[in-house]
Amino acid sequence: FYLNLFKTLKKKIINNKEYRVFFLKGLFSSEGHVKHSVYGTIESIGFSFNPKTEKSLSEFVKRCLDLEKIKSKIDHERGYLYFCGYGNMLRL
């Protein structure tokens, strides 16, 4: 159900800033995680995905982050999309 809904709404999410922001907030609130440094500060914010079946999802999320001027990286081998930096975290 959710996969079909996502496929249907994908273009609307990319083209509408408000939808894009809500999509990213929901995704990182439910599926994202925060990595802390040994000093207790936030080191990075990330999102894990299945690299065999969810590569297109990770590319879509990266594109959404790029449109919001949040610089992110994808590790396709480990199935991990993440970003660092105080400015990027504030934008999210």
pLDDT in tens, 45-67: 998 999 999 999 999 999 999 99
Identify the pLDDT of residue 30.
84
Residues in the chain: 92
pLDDT in tens, 13-55: 999 999 999 999 998 888 888 888 888 888 889 989 999 999 9
Under DSSP, is residue 65 helix (H, G, I), strand (E, B) or coil? helix
91 confidence band (pLDDT: 50, 70, 90): confident
In this structure, what are the phi and psi dihedrals at residue 85, rounded to the nearest 5 degrees?
Answer: 95, 135
Identify the pLDDT of residue 49.
92
First to last CA, the chain: 27
Q: Residue 21: CA atoms inside 13 Å, Cβ hemisphere, count?
A: 8
Reference 71, options 45, 41, 50; nearest CA is 45
Count of Cβ atoms closer than 10 Å to residue 47 Cβ: 23
